Amino acid sequence: MAHYAVRESPPLRGEIPISTSKNAVLPIMCGALLTGEDVRIERVPELTDVKTLCALLASCGCSVKKEGDALVLNAGALQNPQDEEDVRKMRASYYVLGPVLAREGHVELSLPGGCAIGARPMDIHLSSLEQMGATIEIKNGYVHADIKGRLKGAHITFHTASVGATCNILMAATLAEGETVIENAAKEPEIGDLIDLLTAMGAKIEGRDSSKLTIQGVDKLHGAQHKVIADRIEAGSYAIAAAITNGRLELINAQASTLRTPIEILRAMGVSVEEGKDSLLIDAKGKTLTGQDIMTDYYPGFPTDLQAQFMALMTVSEGASLVTENIWENRFMHVPELMRMGANINVHGHASAIVRGVKRLSGAPVMATDLRASFALVLAGLAAEGETVVNRVYHLDRGYEKLDEKLRAVGADIERIKEAD
């Protein structure tokens, strides 16, 4: 299994191109299941989550063609998913549920596996489909969903603004009979991106970027072409790479409008952030950074997917920072690893941690249990004395395209080491 060897690095300098968004491209690929015509998605990032989803879509009878960095998907011969392995590997596999049910009238899907960061229930997805007329049964680890005729429009109120459920029900509603209203929908930019694709396919959706979405079902959707938005979490992660090394990085393609709260926090910590039209210039040259409190929340609040990376920065910033995690119940697994590197962190219950800045971290062998926590350890390694070995790189391969190449190009001392099996 491979690992990353990260060594204390000089201030990072230069440009990092930000890839397209992992969390946008996954539901968008599943949107292609709503039509029998070609859907072409431009600039698809090379990530293992994308590969896993390609395999799952292929097992749904969808043809998957790579043309350069574009993907052309055609679900003319749609069927129920045949490959359970891929469903269990990736939580986002639930995105096939809504589209396959809407077109096929029946779906059997292995329940996606749990995930280290929390229980990740699916009750909103399933109860919403029930409200739209589906009969749902959970048997032997499978969801069995059936409808007679078409899904029916319904007025649905989510108890939590779930990103996954918003995407799933939105997709299902495009082909339902009549009007569907989703109240307390999630407003993340990735949902706006999915709405843009669905609209280009002929869907009738009102309320983009708001918590109330109104969908008028249509009989059929058609093919479309779509360019995916930039990855705001990747951009935020590299902004911290600049900050933690006292460097200066220009993040090409980054969209400031999707990173309002993290930018505010960076500025309050003492980092200069200049907003370009399609870029961000992060400058922490010669700056002494000070701790700030963060509290994760639904968009446009502080993103939970940047909590671990900010915590890494706080471990070497002056003073104390209070980190409150409100979205996932088990998202402090990077804490013991950061403490192995000399960080001073006190966790209180499941939801809050006090970080007191130390002068210096020291390299250590560390291991993370999820994608963003793993990146936090890479960040800590860039600022730590000596060498940090980050194990389980498969987490990082799920969501950071060309991570070591991008970091090395701006001066980081990072190496991917493949060990003999």
The binding site for ligand UD1 (CB under 6 A) comprises 23, 26, 91-92, 118, 120-125, 160, 162-165, 186, 304-305, 327-328
Burial (CB count <10 Å: 0-12, 13-18, 19+), residue 416: middle
Residue 228 CB, shortest distance to ligand UD1, in Å, is 13
How many Cα neighbours within 13 Å face the side chain of 42?
A: 9
Residue 299 CB, shortest distance to ligand UD1, in Å, is 7
Cβ-proximal residue to ligand UD1, closest one: 164
Q: How far apart are CA 344 and CA 357, in angstroms?
A: 7
What does the chain come to in residues? Answer: 421
Q: Which is nearer to ligand UD1, 92 or 282 (CB)?
A: 92
Q: Which residues contact 403 (CB under 8 A, 6 or more apart)?
A: 375, 378, 396, 414
- The answer to whether the beta carbons of residues 280 and 259 sit under 8 Å apart is yes
- Look up residue 214 and give its amino acid: T
241: enclosing H helix or E strand: helix 232-244
Residue 277 CB, shortest distance to ligand UD1, in Å, is 26
What's the DSSP call for residue 370?
A: S
Residue 58 CB, shortest distance to ligand UD1, in Å, is 19
Q: Which is nearer to ligand UD1, 26 or 47 (CB)?
A: 26
144: enclosing H helix or E strand: strand 142-146
The one catalytic residue in 30, 54, 60, 115 is 115
Residue 244 CB, shortest distance to ligand UD1, in Å, is 22
Q: Which is nearer to ligand UD1, 26 or 228 (CB)?
A: 26
- Look up residue 233 and give its amino acid: I
Q: Which is nearer to ligand UD1, 161 or 254 (CB)?
A: 161
Tokens of 257: 């409008």
Q: Which is nearer to ligand UD1, 19 or 317 (CB)?
A: 19
How many CB atoms lie under 10 A from the CB of residue 111? Answer: 16
Catalytic residue status for 115: yes
- Angle, helix 232-244 to helix 260-269, in steps of 10 degrees: 10
Which residues carry out catalysis?
115
